[in-house]
Structure 1
Amino acid sequence: MFESPMITLEKNIFTLQKCFTPKSLDSNKRDLSIDGKFALLQLNQELKCVCKLQARNDLILLEHFQLDPSVIVFSNTIKGSDGLPSKSIISNCRYSNVKCIKIFPLVVNLKKISITIIFKDVRNVTLWRNQMGTLCNIVKDMMKMFTITNKCIVSLENLNVSQRCGLSYIIIHSIGHKNMVGKVDSTTNIFISSIVSRERFEQLQNDNVQKLGGLDNPYQTLKEIVSYHSKFGRIAKDNKLKACQQVLLIGPPGCGKTSLVRLVASDCQATLVTLLGPEVCRPSPGDTELQLRKVFEHAIELAQESGGCILLLDEVDSVPQTTRAFTQLLLLLEQVDRTPGLVVVATTSRPYALPASARRPGRLETEIYIGVPSEKERAEILGTLLSETCPISLNLCKRVAHLTPGFVGADLALLCQHVALDKLNRQGGERDSQDMFLAAIARMRPCSLRSGLGVVTTLPAALSDIGGLYRVKQEVRAAVEWPLIHSEAFRRLGLPQPRGVLLYGPPGCAKTSLARALAASTNTTFLSVSAAELYSPFVGDAERSVVELFHRARLGAPTILFIDEIDALVGSRGDRQRGVQERVLSALLTEMDGVGIKLETLSSVQHQENNVLVVAATNRPDLLDDALLRPGRFDKLVYVPPPDETSRQDILNVLTRDMPLAEDVDLHSVAHATQLCSGADLTNLCREAGLCALTEEGMDVQQVKNKHFQKVLDKLKPSLTQSQIEWYTSYKR
């Protein structure tokens, strides 16, 4: 065994299958008797090359083999029943070293060989399919120039006649002799097992198609359709009951639609033709329609080969619908059913942007939905992504899946890239991997929630950071936390998950803070809106914003959707004139009932509509419509009262946690002196006391004293009144 670098010779007929050996070759191998002998040169574990050795002392690079890799022997690894090689051996052999040489003592005359012919273009396949006798004679004349063996691929780039005939490669399956080389003569019988286009051949060679996780149901559905037409499309072409040939693949961006089609094409050994929607448009009139016709004609020609063809229309919704191009697309889709072996798969993340004329039977008739992955599916995706690059334990995989609600496959792939880069910078064990994932999750948002309506930046918070409200916290935990964290227990007891929780009470009593703390403690997606963000001067815009908001919430499920000041948004339907508030209320009721749910937002395993919890806050519950307050909408109404003396002291303890206080400060006395003050008033009190200390004693002051609190208390005017509290108490009853 030895290893010597190699370079490929220039392609021409004079260097056909030649190998010039370097000066450094062992003396026993430089025996002149091997000149002109054919040998098998091992390039790597899978590839070998059949060449005619020729010793030369005038090589420019004396340490290199110089050879023409026209005949490459591949390993026993095959793909499919046609025996085609599974790896791109033509390109791999150009970057190899010669590792071993085996001399063949003689070259036999072959009686019969079995071959597959690779044409440059699919049109050549169609042209020569009905002229097999002539093709066999042409191939025999060309093969006389080569010395071949079993399971080898012959490149015809050196022959001008092959270029004129459209030939690219010839794959030799068998020569009738084992461990020998031979030549074709006029008496050799050539059996052509199949003829294949180069496009299909190269796709069959590609074994780098990414495996997917969490898409079992869509994968099986699409694979059944493609497999049927690949195997039985020509047999069933006269059947009056046509099987589906056109599929619309629907799902949010990054969920794996295109990757799924590539995987199915690879597993079904179908040729894949991809057409991106934005690439269809051309500047000149008629060019767009011409481009569409060319792509469909090319796909039809590929479908006539064995194995079938998938035409992928990626982002089909981006094709302009008001132009002749879309009309041309619809006409071409109608012709697909008359082409056996062809399956059209269109992908979109905006199915509502496609007209009904494109989704009717005879066109994109079968719809497959890929939803946002559930926690179990996210764990499967992570396991697939990390199986080779960065293996982690199953428990860590499940934990990461639990911490990534709303993440689709592309988000999880980006997350794994961040962790892989961190691992390159520092070596660590399982514990370090967990810390890396947690750090990466903290700085990432799912692509559907990076910007737009309702997206807010939430700071880490806990219910313990909110002083007082002990009874309210327990009620809110039972209504919000338990259904999200212990959903299995609710399902086991047959308890329906609540749709909404209404927090009502006087202004400044921590209703909004409670909602934010709940989102942080339950590790859920948090969206927050107010009436000002939803209203628009354009008719119908506010209702559309409500629909978009719930759509976004379902994409990130489980989600807490917080609507602040809901009374300003919807109000109550009364005898007043119908207006935008009533239309927004109707849209809100529809979305809360789940009637307006879009199928593409559903998980492929379970429905996620119950994993969106609406939490609303208001200080005027009497203005809300009765339809909102019934069970099934806002199931739980939680009264957030003003703080009593004990709660006020607890709030002051939380607010002054980071404030240095003098020994004379008595928070109990301060709490007693702040009757009718809300939590917001107490926050303002502490801030003003600190500013008072800075004003009176300068910027070098070290502590806030009791006199500073007393000075602020003298000027403090509570925001609540006794009549307000009595009104809320009577409403609660």
Structure 2
Amino acid sequence: MHSLLLSIINYCRNNENKRSFSSILHTQFLRHRRQWRWRQKSATIWGCGLQSIVAYRLVCRLYVVYNRENTRRRDMATKVDITTNSLSLLDAVEGQKCYIPWQEYPLSITKSYWCRCTLSNGSYAICCVLRRAGSESCCFLDNSVSSSAEFSATNQRLTSIESLTLVRNVTKVSCVIFATEMLHEKQPQLEVEELGADIAIFLRGLVLEKGCYVRQENMSSMGIDTIHILDIPEVPDNHCFTLDNIHSVIEIVDVRLAMPKSLPTCTHYLTDSFEQPMAALEQLLVTSKRSLLSHRFPTTALIVGPVGCGKSTLLARFLQRNSCNCYYITSSKVMSSQPGGTEQELRKIFQAARAFKANMRPTTPIVIVIEDLELLCAAPSNSSGNSNNSLRIAAQLYKLIDELDPGIICLATTSNPDQLHEHARRAGRFGREITVEMPNEQERGRLIAAWCQAHQLPLPHEALLDHLAKNTQGYFISDLNLLLSQVQKDVMLHQQPNLPKIFLKCLNKLCSSGSLATSVRVEKMTLGFEAIGGMDALKRKLEASVIAGLQHGEAFARLGLSLPKGVLLYGPPGCAKTTIAKCLAKEANMTFIATSAAEVYSPYVGSAERCITRMFNTARKNAPCLIFLDEIDSLVGRRTVSGGGGGQVQLRILSTLLTEMDGIVGGSNEKHILVVAATNRPEMIDDALLRPGRFDQLIHVPSPDLKSRLALLQLHGERMPFDEQLDLATIVVHTEGYSGADLCNLCNEAAIQTFQRDPQATKIEMQDFEKVMCKLKSSLTRSQIDAYYKFANRSQQLENK
């Protein structure tokens, strides 16, 4: 029994836990020394002079007390609050250590004990906790063995330290290897069995835990990113373990490729608006599995969408959801200045994918992603050198895709499909296209609400959420993410933030990327029909013919009606045709794009047509959108027989405009484009524009009548200090034939007359209006006004026929 006690004491002295066990041993001996004094008069515990029965009883009690103490310590994690940094900032230190400042070291943690160090975000690392003498107030934490592959200790908070029990010499461990694309580039013939011997070198000497991830810098040189340790039945919970250096067996369950670092980190709420493209990608995945069993099916797809719409985010979500092995190709990665260098890089990647599939036998799909395909398969250009180089690169890529092994998926993205070579989009290559649309109003609202919930911000009330969703038309995923990030920054700057005010401020400050990427100016109107004085009949006509169809799109679709494509506003100059178009955009909740002949015409051939095309493309990105063509008669005009340079340009612009208007599909009101044109010479409009299906509605904007002139003067009176005794009825009677612009000029001249009469005056009086009306007259004649009524009657008669 003496030898048994000696062996236990020696084990305590040599073991990692000798301090805790020895202290308990000594404490218990002193506590029971008097009880056993008659049995141990000539010996002490360290001399092992106890009688056999006393030694046996003492060891049993010590073992029970030690287990109880160890279990209590293990179950109770020590709470701390220390800033953390990466251990790599310290020089010449061993890995898997956690250095805590001397003054911050918790007394309940035994020095040099293996612990689970948990951060504020819930992730943790397995480290040996040590004291560090120094002036730093932060701890240095190693991430070699952690809870996730994305673990980072930089600028985090260490919140908990939990002691673990060490189990030595585990003989078998199962793991999943996450490799990099370099794995088969450096060792093309490497197989799973050979990889196990290399993995054992990294795992031996480390203290591991079930479910942990191992990541070391020297692993990347062999093409290995991380190692995921799976469940080990022989190791209990809250225990860490080491491997047997000689007899341990490494079982590789699966080999996967780590997610490329270039892909964005996506969250679930950013991908809620990708239901249709995600379903198309999932269907492609099912097709690739079937191609392994029977006939070969095309496993390629082209993801199309403008810049910032979320193509890369969609791919990242798809790859993560299906645990895909991804080979990521970008133009900057494969492009080479050496002749044939680009083709060689492409061959390396495709060969590595085939070798990975053949040698590693992965259980998850293999996907090759090509970003910005138009840079590798560009359409032929006028430059013969660039064209030959591009054709050579494209030919190599076509050959690799045509010879793609069954079960390997190839996905490509593009923001400019028109710049792709036609051979790239043929069937069998990238004939299948998946379009990423911008989020609609409901999806934008859900995304904003989910973002606020994920970032622990107060959820905006329903009215504010609806306002934000309606006023973020044309916003892509990147635009919404930028907007919400700016909101989060502003909230952090205020102790008691006013969330609605901050949201509206950031919304007014930022613009969508679609509007910034083009010279076409996209606006959001803020004034509705209340800004127009009078013209009640005209407002009702617009509401019935235009706004009703946009607000009740489901009813129109149920009845087989299509939304209006175009509205032509004609009438005398200065009668608020432009103002009506802007107010119509506000009432219909549409973005507003305005242009005129001065902005479209250019001395360069083809520039005017590109301007029209660019304007409609911008409108599609910011749909629903209203395009306003001011003075359309000077922009296109009526086709004539006379030849001339200007006439030819107008014909090309007219042809482009007709093509774009015919391309407007009157389907969903969320994707609708409405073209509104204004003219004071309706007889000069080409008949091709006036036919049904283009400008469906011809609306006469007359000069204001008596009631409308009174409403206009009252509207001006809200911004100008009219005298209470001012007789607006008399002014209205004496302004027969005045346009809206004439009445505005009349009010301005009356204000100037008031200032000239008395610089200290505070009211505009009747005498000022009377003096001004003696000098001013209407800009419209009766013959002009009657001509527009005649055109309106003639158009009505043609419609009735």
TM tier relative to shorter chain: 0.7 to 0.9
| Native 8 Å contact 1:118 1:201 kept in 2 | no
Which residue pairs with 1:261 in the alignment? 315
Which residue pairs with 2:459 in the alignment? 392
Which residue pairs with 1:313 in the alignment? 370
Which residue pairs with 1:217 in the alignment? 276
Which residue pairs with 1:505 in the alignment? 571
Percent identity over the alignment is 30
Task: Read off the aligned partner of 2:782 and give its amino acid letter.
Answer: Q
Map 1:513-662; keep pairs closer than 5 Å.
Answer: 513-577=579-643, 579-594=648-663, 607=668, 611-662=672-723
The structure, 1 or 2, with the larger RCO (C-alpha pairs under 8 Å, 6+ apart) is 1
Task: Output the CA distance in 2 between the equivalents of 1:726 and 1:505.
Answer: 10
Task: Output the CA distance in 2 between the equivalents of 1:271 and 1:378.
Answer: 31
Q: TM-score with structure 1 length normalisation?
A: 0.80
| Native 8 Å contact 2:269 2:451 kept in 1 | no
CA shift digits 1:477-513 (9 cap, x unpaired):
2223222233344344444322222211111111112
| Native 8 Å contact 2:553 2:668 kept in 1 | no
Task: Output the CA distance in 2 between the equivalents of 1:50 and 1:478.
Answer: 72
Which residue pairs with 2:532 in the alignment? 466
| Native 8 Å contact 2:99 2:141 kept in 1 | no
Choose 123-132 or 6-15, whichever is displaced more.
Answer: 6-15
| Native 8 Å contact 1:144 1:185 kept in 2 | yes
Task: Output the CA distance in 1 between the equivalents of 2:550 and 2:349.
Answer: 49
Which structure has the greater CA radius of gyration? 2
CA 1:659–1:153 in 2, change beyond 3 Å: closer, same or farther?
closer
CA shift digits 1:373-422 (9 cap, x unpaired):
22233234334433301352683544422232222212222222233234
Task: Output the CA distance in 1 between the equivalents of 2:713 and 2:533.
Answer: 8
Deviation at 1:624, TM superposition (A): 1.7
Deviation at 1:553, TM superposition (A): 1.7
CA 1:452–1:682 in 2, change beyond 3 Å: closer, same or farther?
farther
Choose 324-333 or 149-158, whichever is displaced more.
Answer: 149-158
Task: Output the CA distance in 2 between the equivalents of 1:303 and 1:623.
Answer: 68
Match of 2:117 among 23, 39, 43: 43
Which residue pairs with 2:51 in the alignment? none
Task: Read off the aligned partner of 1:437 and give its amino acid letter.
Answer: F
Task: Read off the aligned partner of 1:630 and give its amino acid letter.
Answer: R
| Native 8 Å contact 1:310 1:343 kept in 2 | yes
| Native 8 Å contact 2:296 2:406 kept in 1 | no
CA shift digits 1:434-469 (9 cap, x unpaired):
444344333433222247455265664332332232
Task: Read off the aligned partner of 2:235 and give its amino acid letter.
Answer: K
Which residue pairs with 1:727 in the alignment? 787
CA 1:545–1:183 in 2, change beyond 3 Å: closer, same or farther?
closer
Task: Read off the aligned partner of 1:220 and give its amino acid letter.
Answer: A
Q: Is structure 2 residue 244 aligned with structure 1 residue 184?
A: yes
CA shift digits 1:200-223 (9 cap, x unpaired):
699999896874121101011123
CA 1:23–1:479 in 2, change beyond 3 Å: closer, same or farther?
closer
Deviation at 1:9, TM superposition (A): 9.4
Which residue pairs with 2:763 in the alignment? 703
Which residue pairs with 1:271 in the alignment? 325
Unaligned runs of 5+ in 1: 75-85
Task: Output the CA distance in 2 between the equivalents of 1:436 and 1:123.
Answer: 52
Task: Output the CA distance in 1 between the equivalents of 2:350 and 2:752.
Answer: 74
1:99 is paired with a residue of what secondary structure?
strand
| Native 8 Å contact 1:40 1:48 kept in 2 | no
CA 1:528–1:155 in 2, change beyond 3 Å: closer, same or farther?
closer
2:774 is paired with a residue of what secondary structure?
helix
Match of 2:420 among 354, 378, 402: 354
Which residue pairs with 1:78 in the alignment? none
CA 1:711–1:296 in 2, change beyond 3 Å: closer, same or farther?
farther
CA 1:155–1:660 in 2, change beyond 3 Å: closer, same or farther?
closer
Deviation at 1:644, TM superposition (A): 2.6
1:715 is paired with a residue of what secondary structure?
coil
Match of 1:331 among 396, 418, 427: 396
CA 1:416–1:118 in 2, change beyond 3 Å: closer, same or farther?
closer
CA 1:556–1:191 in 2, change beyond 3 Å: closer, same or farther?
closer
CA shift digits 1:303-334 (9 cap, x unpaired):
55523443333233345653414531342243
| Native 8 Å contact 2:568 2:698 kept in 1 | yes
1:363 is paired with a residue of what secondary structure?
coil
For these two proteins, the number of residue pairs brought into alignment is: 689
Q: TM-score with structure 2 length normalisation?
A: 0.74
2:674 is paired with a residue of what secondary structure?
strand
CA shift digits 1:63-99 (9 cap, x unpaired):
999999698475xxxxxxxxxxx54358689985772
| Native 8 Å contact 1:278 1:318 kept in 2 | no
Choose 404-413 or 336-345, whichever is displaced more.
Answer: 336-345
Match of 1:123 among 184, 188, 197: 184
Task: Read off the aligned partner of 1:246 and give its amino acid letter.
Answer: T
1:561 is paired with a residue of what secondary structure?
strand
CA 1:583–1:438 in 2, change beyond 3 Å: closer, same or farther?
same
Which residue pairs with 1:496 in the alignment? 562
CA 1:590–1:610 in 2, change beyond 3 Å: closer, same or farther?
farther
